[in-house]
Amino acid sequence: IQLLESGGGLVQPGGSLRLSCAASGFTFSSYAMTWVRQAPGKGLQWVSAISGSGSTTYYTDSVKGRFTISRDNSKNTVYLQMDSLRVEDTATYFCAKDVRSLPKDWFDPWGQGTLVTVSS
């Protein structure tokens, strides 16, 4: 199983960025996918999750209305559209595979992460 994130970079406050996570090695549509972030030198924070079918999405309160998670099961890819970015969104963003089709469990494995820096 491999998860490969991309799309990170430097963006100004108020800007937008779209992260991608390309998956391989498993039946992608059968598993929920999750984004977890880690601010520099800090701990892990769950950000968003999407069910295997894509019909159900979940967000932590601090990103509701600004971030949108989606997936394309034909491309084995999950996305995180991040709008109205804030300085406090600066972090490494990891995508992680859930162990079932609904996002209620632990994460295994994780991608290597992509760094998002929000700064003027």
Partner 1 sequence: DIVLTQSPGTLSLSPGERATLSCRASQSVSSSYLAWYQQKPGQAPRLLIHGVSSRATGIPDRFSGSGSGTDFTLTISRLEPEDFAVYYCQHYGSSRTFGQGTKVEIK
Binding site for partner 1 (CB under 8 A): 34, 36, 43-46, 49, 94, 103-113
Q: Residue 23 or 36: which CB sits closer to partner 1?
A: 36
Measured from the CB atom, the residue of 26 and 46 that comes closer to partner 1 is 46
Residues 85 and 12: their CA atoms lie apart, in Å, by: 8
**How far is it, in rounded angstroms, from Cα 67 to Cα 76?**
20
Shortest CB 112 distance to partner 1, Å: 5
Closer to partner 1 by CB, 31 or 107: give it.
Answer: 107
Q: How far is the CB of 120 from partner 1 (least distance, A)?
A: 27
- Taking the C-alpha atoms of residue 98 and residue 105, their distance in angstroms, rounded to an integer, is 6
Query: In the complex with partner 1, which residue's Cβ is closer, 46 or 83?
Result: 46
Minimum CB separation of residue 102 from partner 1 in Å reads: 11
Q: Rounded to whole angstroms, what are the CA distances from 95 to 12, 13, 89?
A: 23, 23, 15
